[in-house]
Amino acid sequence: MGPCIDIVNPALWEIGHVGWFHEYWTLREAAGLGPLIERCDRLWDSSAVPHDTRWHLDLPDRAGTLSYIADVLARQEERLGAGLDDATRYYYDLAIRHEDMHVEALTYTRQTLSYARPQGLGSDRRTEIASQPDDASVPGGTWRLGSTATEGFVFDNEKWAHETTLAPFRIACAPVTNAAFAAFIEADGYRTHEFWSAAGWAWREHRRAERPVYWRGKRDGVWTWRRYRAIEPLPPNAPVVFVSWFEAEAWCRWAKRRLPSETEWEAAAVGLPTADGQRLADIRRRWPWGDEPPSPDRANLDFAFDGPIDVAALSQGDSAFGCRQMIGNVWEWTSSAFLPFAGFSADPYKDYSQPWFGSRKVLRGGCWATSARIARPAYRNFFTPDRNDVVAGFRTCAL
């Protein structure tokens, strides 16, 4: 079952929960069927089953859990054979994306618990050296933040697109690298109070943090880190990852930079300039590079590679303003608190967004283990600012 810690679910429980979520919404809620296992709600309903009890439930064993989710899938396929109306399609879209999230969570749980690395994934063999990226200039103007009904399935916290006003800003063309973050450590940044907010300093003191959680110090002048269960050299030109919002904020103060707001991030990712370049245009791209779907030459998504790759890679995925890797590689912290947009109304899965407003920070863009269904430019991920176990890094703006 693994250790009982706050940031991890037992893998056996989590896999059963994914099957339960599919069953609850697509077969019970949408189709009116009864539960496949009478006690399933007492086992896998994450809204009702306290976290610390999940290690001690009378769960089906591994074979029983896999048999349960296979039974759910077989019933779904039977229902799908008869076709779907739009109302029912919503529940399938929701359940599929919920599964995507848990696939990603199980991937970084491997890292948290020092399990073996996933097998059979592509690896990036390039040896290109990334120079410190320059800033891109993004003009000001009106930006419609959020999603519209024309975009297909969207989550409730993205509803609906609304006008905001942006001042011109300059944003880094790439995320902060391991080498750039190492300079902060070597400048005694973790022990310099002035670089940290009060909450950030309290977090650093409580965790006794001296560097990112998986970094292990230098060997022969090269920083190393624990990657799954192995100690490896830290790739200097890959984006820094597994850092909390507090650490990102502190690095920014040291570097005399700042985190972008989620509005700035979105505009830099999919916005377009007017012909004269003086303001943001009224139209946007579907993805940073255009309307074509993601592919491994544009975005490190869907396990295209087996981890974050060099920040100089994937130039075909650049945004109109020259920002690279806005989609995939690593989630990016923003300065924005996770709050509802005006007129917010919870969707049927009411516990998805509403309980977490005000306690979390927004991340954008997805990581190498994120599904393209999730990593749309308007998707708002959200975690508490202390979390340093998720595949998150950051890019910055000029002051």
Single out the residue in 77, 112, 147 at which a domain terminates. Answer: 112
State whether the Cα torsion 261-267-269-275 is positive or negative.
negative
Residue 128 has a pLDDT of 53
Q: 341 and 268 in one domain? A: yes
Domain interval for residue 52: 11-112
Single out the residue in 112, 146, 177 at which a domain terminates. Answer: 112
Residue 146 lies in a domain: yes
Domain count across the chain: 2
Residue 6 lies in a domain: no
Contacts of 150 (CB under 8 A, 6+ apart): none
Residue 117 lies in a domain: no
Assess contact for 392 and 241: CB atoms under 8 A.
yes
Assess contact for 383 and 367: CB atoms under 8 A.
no
Tell me the pLDDT tens digit for each residue of 38-84.
Answer: 999 999 999 999 999 999 999 999 999 999 999 999 999 999 998 89
Contacts of 58 (CB under 8 A, 6+ apart): 43
Burial of 293 (0-12, 13-18, 19+ CB in 10 A): exposed
Confidence of residue 126 (pLDDT cuts 50, 70, 90): low
Q: 166 and 103 in one domain? A: no
Tell me the pLDDT tens digit for each residue of 211-227.
Answer: 999 999 888 899 999 99
- Find the mean pLDDT for residues 299-322: 94
Residue 212 has a pLDDT of 98
Q: 335 and 191 in one domain? A: yes
Confidence of residue 124 (pLDDT cuts 50, 70, 90): low
Count of alpha carbons within 13 angstroms of residue 351, beta-carbon side: 6
Edge to edge, the sheet with strand 381-383 lists 381-383, 361-364, 331-337, 392-393
Q: Over 60: is that where the pLDDT of 129 sits?
A: no
Residue 118 lies in a domain: no
Q: 313 and 240 in one domain? A: yes
Tell me the pLDDT tens digit for each residue of 154-208.
Answer: 999 999 999 999 999 999 999 999 999 999 999 999 999 999 999 999 999 999 9
Q: 221 and 146 in one domain? A: yes
Q: 108 and 204 in one domain? A: no
Q: 108 and 192 in one domain? A: no
- Find the mean pLDDT for residues 95-119: 95
Assess contact for 272 and 321: CB atoms under 8 A.
no
DSSP string of 318-359, one letter each residue: --TT----SSSSSEEEEEEE--PPTT----SSTTTTGGGTTT
Q: 70 and 219 in one domain? A: no
Pair of tokens at residue 283: 């139209």
Q: 127 and 32 in one domain? A: no
Residue 133 has a pLDDT of 58
CA angle 291/267/368 to nearest 5° reads 65
Burial of 250 (0-12, 13-18, 19+ CB in 10 A): buried
Residue 185 lies in a domain: yes
Q: 170 and 303 in one domain? A: yes
pTM of the model: 0.96
User: Which residue type is seen at 113?
Assistant: L
User: Which residue type is seen at 389?
Assistant: D
Q: 157 and 246 in one domain? A: yes
Largest CA distance in the chain: 65
d(CA 335, CA 264): 10
Q: 200 and 60 in one domain? A: no
- Find the mean pLDDT for residues 303-318: 93
